[in-house]
């Protein structure tokens, strides 16, 4: 099939590359000519396992191409995927300017019937807005070209996006058009062979499903973090509690790991967007508001632990930081807990030496002008003469360190574990003061 994807950000690039991987002819469109030139040369602008290989494979095989001409994209594809960003507005609502801008372009250049697939994360009712925007532009041209708008939300985890697309848990199709639903079923058939994962529903339900999923996962994280704070006061070990409740099949073990808060491009934005939708409707949503409140407090917890150990004034203090990305297997630092910690420590006068296997360049871009912040090429190098080591991201490389070597490098043996990576016995038996989340 012939597919056009408008937007070559995280979602658009993964979508286009994976659709090309199974044999479709895919053209990815973006207004950023510099990015398109890099992609045409096989240069991938984001860190995502397996993505570079399938992009280059698609380019080499002639199944995947990139361009900047939206009119050419509309001429190419039967399916036109909208996969542009929906950044949060000042009030927390999703900013639909880019989505509706693409819709307007579609209306200006549409020549033949097309299925318009909204892949961006958008509020309920956006499918109607996209349809109306396209229709208005067609009316200005005096054209009556049939088209269908389908909601097809993405459920991709950063760090596992290719695997999630190729072997999805579910494929949500939001449309009232049976013919469009069948064509979408045909498009997704290569990803739906083991058993039927494709769910067809109305567009509003499809749009709400995406927000509901992310907000529920964020709720589980905030609940465990709030429980961890209580466990510390009670002298209980939240890790034992986690195993105890996770053993209940009604609860399970997914997303009940306590830590220093969630971040990234999805959970924070989507929680706020759903709050905004509730406010617009005059509907009180105290639980969703509490999820964000708890998370904001949790992201400040590591700074509080550092201050409790080293004092309010951190001038002349050197802090080692392991982990900058908001989660492993990505270089994404958007709303990462590490940024809250770094900003707080720098305000207090601390010097920070950080290490992350993937996000070093992103950290240099964000903090390049800060003299008291540097990124190291080795985790142990970051710990030289450090007054404390703080862990923000649970990368595999951090899971089994040489605690003796760490202790010998550091000025004082203080380890603050924001992801509960270690059995407390191991660092303590070599002389570390070990502090974690929700552990006595």
- Burial of 315 from C-beta contacts in 10 A (0-12 / 13-18 / 19+): exposed
Q: In angstroms, rounded to a whole number, what is the distance separating the alpha carbons of residues 364 and 374?
A: 8
Cβ(324)–Cβ(360) below 8 Å: yes
* DSSP category for residue 387: S
**Residue 19: half-sphere exposure toward Cβ, Cα within 13 Å:** 26
CB count within 10 Å of CB 142 equals 6
User: Strand 318-322 to strand 388-391: parallel, antiparallel, or no bridges (unpaired)?
Assistant: parallel
The owner of tokens 């991938």 is 44
Helix (H, G, I), strand (E, B) or coil at 237: coil
3-state SS track over 199-212? EEECHHHHHHHHHH
Residue 119 contacts residue 137 (beta carbons within 8 Å) = no
From 28, 266, 376, 392, active-site residue: 266
The residue among 93, 72, 84, 95 whose CA lies nearest residue 118 is 84
Does 266 participate in catalysis according to the annotation?
yes
Half-sphere exposure of 249 (CA within 13 A, CB side): 0
Active site residues per annotation: 266
């Amino acid at each position: 099939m012939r597919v056009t994807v408008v937007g070559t950000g995280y979602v658009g690039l993964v979508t286009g590359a994976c659709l090309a991987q199974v044999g479709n002819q895919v053209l990815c469109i973006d207004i950023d000519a510099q990015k398109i030139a890099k992609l045409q040369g096989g240069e991938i602008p984001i860190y995502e396992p397996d993505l570079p290989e399938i992009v280059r494979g698609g380019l080499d095989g002639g199944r995947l191409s990139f361009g900047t001409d939206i009119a050419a994209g509309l001429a190419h594809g039967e399916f036109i995927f909208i996969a542009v960003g929906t950044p949060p507005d000042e009030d927390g609502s999703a900013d639909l300017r880019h989505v509706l801008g693409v819709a307007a372009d579609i209306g200006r250049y549409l020549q033949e019937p097309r299925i318009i697939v909204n892949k961006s994360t958008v509020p309920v009712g956006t499918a109607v807005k996209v349809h109306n925007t396209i229709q208005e532009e067609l009316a200005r041209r005096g054209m009556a070209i049939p088209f269908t708008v389908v909601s097809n939300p993405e459920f991709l985890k950063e760090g596992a996006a290719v695997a999630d697309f190729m072997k999805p848990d579910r494929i949500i199709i939001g449309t009232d058009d049976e013919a469009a639903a069948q064509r979408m079923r045909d498009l997704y058939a290569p990803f739906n062979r083991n058993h039927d994962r494709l769910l067809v529903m109305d567009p509003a339900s499809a749009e709400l499903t995406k927000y509901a999923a992310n907000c529920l996962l964020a709720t589980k994280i905030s609940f465990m973090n709030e429980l961890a704070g209580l466990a510390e006061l009670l002298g209980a070990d939240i890790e034992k509690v986690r195993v105890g409740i996770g053993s209940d099949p009604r609860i399970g073990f997914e997303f009940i790991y306590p830590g220093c808060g969630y971040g990234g491009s999805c959970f924070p934005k989507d929680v706020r967007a759903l709050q905004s939708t509730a406010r617009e409707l005059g509907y009180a949503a105290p639980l969703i508001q509490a999820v964000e409140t708890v998370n904001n407090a949790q992201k400040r917890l590591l700074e509080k632990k550092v201050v409790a150990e080293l004092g309010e004034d951190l001038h002349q203090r050197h802090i080692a930081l392991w982990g900058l990305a908001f989660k492993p297997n990505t270089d994404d630092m958007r709303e990462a807990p590490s940024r809250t910690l770094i900003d707080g420590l720098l305000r207090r006068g601390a010097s920070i030496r950080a290490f992350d296997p993937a996000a070093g360049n992103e950290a240099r871009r964000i903090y390049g002008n800060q003299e008291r912040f540097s990124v190291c090429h080795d985790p142990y190098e970051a710990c030289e003469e450090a007054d404390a080591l703080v862990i923000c991201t649970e990368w595999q490389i951090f899971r089994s360190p040489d605690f003796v070597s760490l202790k010998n490098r550091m000025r004082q043996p203080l380890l603050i574990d924001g992801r509960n990576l270690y059995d407390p016995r191991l660092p303590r038996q070599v002389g570390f003061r070990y502090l974690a989340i929700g552990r006595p």
